[in-house]
Structure 1
């Protein structure tokens, strides 16, 4: 369904220091990093898409967070959700909801919500019963 998702950032180095360890926990491999532009991307496996990208907005205007927008990453296990949340907070993220079951979505929905250092809302979720 998706080709790529691009999230704007203000401080590229700070954002990279946040996203590199988060993507590592999620097992998402880096595809490129161009600090001169600046932007970076991680790719899905085994297919090269969708891509997740961060960078300075193309129009060169300051980054602004959208209200009601969120990117959710899938995790294979609840332990990965827990680890991703801890890594996000340890690297400058802020909590929007600790890892927990959220049966209002469905019986096995186990998710954590947080914001990156620029305030972009993110989620890591496991849909499996373990």
Structure 2
């Protein structure tokens, strides 16, 4: 259903340094990186979906949207924990610590954070422990 998701950033190098360890914790590999402009990660065994960080093409400043969030799928609860802790260690801010969210479904385990530019990210696992 999803081909790619783009998250607009103003400071590409900072965003690349922030997202690289998160993508590694989730088992994703770098598909491309064009210096100072954009980079994209993908699952190791599939060509898509892509998670892309990029400077806006129109040249205007990137802005985080109110009510917008990107949800990244994790294969395990440990991967959720690892991605979340990596985010906080690299300048992210907590929007909800890792844990079960049974209001979504009994096995929903997620964490929420904002990147250094204010973009809201969720990392979640839907599998039982």
TM-score interval for Structure 1 and Structure 2 normalised by the shorter chain: over 0.9
**Distance in 2 between residues matched to 1:69 and 1:112, nearest whole Å:** 15
Q: Does 1:99 align with 2:98?
A: yes
1:53 paired residue number: 52
Q: Which residue number corresponds to residue 121 of structure 2? A: 122
Q: Does 1:35 align with 2:42?
A: no
Secondary structure of 2:80's match? helix
Secondary structure at the aligned position of 1:13 is classed as helix
CA distance in 2, matches of 1:48, 1:95: 30
**Mapped partners of 2:22, 2:49: distance in 1:** 17
SS, match of residue 10 in structure 1:
coil
**Matched residue of 1:86: which SS?**
helix
Supply the distance in 2 between the matched residues of 1:110 and 1:47 (Cα, whole angstroms): 24
CA–CA distance in 1 between the matches of 2:30 and 2:82?
19
User: For structure 2, which runs of at least 5 residues remain unmatched after alignment?
Assistant: none
SS of the equivalent of 1:62 reads: coil
Give, in whole Å, the separation in 2 of the partners of 1:47 and 1:128.
Answer: 20
* Count of matched residue positions in the alignment of Structure 1 and Structure 2: 129
Q: CA RMSD in A?
A: 0.9
Partner of 2:9: 9
Q: TM-score when scaled to structure 1? A: 0.96
Q: Which runs of 4+ in 1 moved over 4 A?
A: none
Aligned to 2:69: 70
Superposition TM-score, scaled by structure 2 size = 0.97
